[in-house]
């Protein structure tokens, strides 16, 4: 995983609540046995006018001009501004894979679904929870100003708007550490092999039927 560094990123607003992972990456693309290459199919059903299938040349497909990610002013966006319960539904990690592969690094929303929220951190994506009224104000500001960029500083846990307004955010210490250092959890967990083995021995005695 790449280290998460401070950056200034263009913001794209996706103004609908309950955006589910089926919408983020439709099921036909889940047939892949790879971890990469999902970006061109992020939001496939909203983004293209035709029906997408794996193996198509996406550069030749008709784009839906009404979908916000297709508008010229939002090309190259790295920050997605969203509404409540973003990422609900299926646990598919293909959703953060697709968003990351598309080029997004931060998602700001009033709330996220638990599994999606968790999956983001495993893939270098930072989900940021801000209060609904702040998100609402950001939607208005982003839509009003072409080229609206925000500075994201994970170390300081702040997002700074072009007008200098600073939005502090909360992030779990362990997850922050992993993102900043590009660490994967498995290596960290395996530092506790002895604890796991000791637990397992105790557990086996208490509930032997689990090991029969």
Partner 1 sequence: MSSKTLYDKLWDSHVVRQDADGTALIYIDRQLVHEVTSPQAFEGLKLAHRKPWRTASMLAVPDHNVPTTNRAAGIADPISRLQVETLDANCAEYGIVEFKMGDIRQGVVHVMGPEQGATLPGMTVVCGDSHTSTHGAFAALAHGIGTSEVEHVMATQCLVAKKSKAMLVKVEGKLGRGVTAKDIALAVIGKIGTAGGTGYAIEFAGAAIRDLSMEGRMTLCNMAIEAGARAGMVAADDTTVSYVKGRPFAPQGANWDKAVAYWKTLHSDDGAKFDATVELDASQIKPQVTWGTSPEMVTDINGRVPDPASAPDAVKRGDWERALQYMGLQANTPISEIKVDKVFIGSCTNGRIEDMREAAAIAKGKKVAANVRLAMVVPGSGLVKAQAEQEGLDKVFIDAGFEWRDPGCSMCLAMNDDRLEAGERCASTSNRNFEGRQGQGSRTHLVSPAMAAAAAIAGHFVDVREWQ
Binding positions for partner 1, rule: CB under 8 A: 15-18, 20, 22-23, 26-28, 30-35, 45, 51, 54-55, 83-85, 88-93, 96, 111-115, 118-119, 122-123, 172-174, 184-186, 188-190, 192, 195-196, 199-200, 203, 206-212
State whether residue 18 is helix, strand or coil.
coil
**Choice between 20 and 145, CB closer to partner 1:** 20
Report in angstroms how near the CB of residue 1 gets to partner 1 at its nearest.
Answer: 9
The token pair at 47 is 């983004």
DSSP 86: B
Neighbours of 70 (CB within 10 A): 15
| Axis crossing angle, helix 114-121 with helix 94-102, rounded to the nearest 10 | 50
Report in angstroms how near the CB of residue 42 gets to partner 1 at its nearest.
Answer: 14
**Any idea how long the chain is?**
212
With contact defined as beta carbons under 8 Å apart, do 105 and 7 qualify? yes
**Choice between 31 and 60, CB closer to partner 1:** 31
**Choice between 116 and 149, CB closer to partner 1:** 116
The token pair at 190 is 């395996």
**Choice between 162 and 171, CB closer to partner 1:** 171
């Amino acid at each position: 995983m790449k280290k998460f560094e401070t950056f200034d990123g263009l913001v794209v607003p996706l103004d609908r609540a309950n955006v589910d992972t089926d919408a983020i990456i439709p099921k036909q693309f889940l047939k892949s046995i790879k971890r990469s290459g999902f970006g061109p199919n992020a939001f496939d059903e909203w983004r293209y006018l035709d029906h997408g299938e794996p193996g198509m040349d996406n550069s030749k497909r008709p784009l839906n001009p009404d979908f916000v990610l297709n508008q010229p002013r939002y090309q190259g966006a790295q920050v997605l501004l969203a509404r409540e319960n973003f990422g609900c539904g299926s646990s598919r990690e293909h959703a953060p894979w697709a968003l990351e592969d598309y080029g997004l690094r931060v998602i700001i929303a009033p709330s996220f679904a638990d599994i999606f929220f968790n999956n983001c951190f495993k893939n270098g994506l930072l989900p940021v929870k801000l209060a609904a009224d702040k998100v609402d104000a950001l939607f208005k500001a982003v839509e009003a100003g072409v080229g609206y960029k925000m500075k994201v500083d994970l170390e300081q846990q702040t997002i700074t708007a072009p007008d200098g307004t600073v939005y502090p955010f909360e992030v779990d210490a362990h997850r922050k550490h992993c993102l900043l250092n590009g660490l994967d959890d498995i290596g960290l967990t395996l530092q506790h092999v002895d604890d796991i083995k000791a637990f397992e021995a105790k557990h086996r005695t208490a509930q032997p039927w689990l090991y029969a």
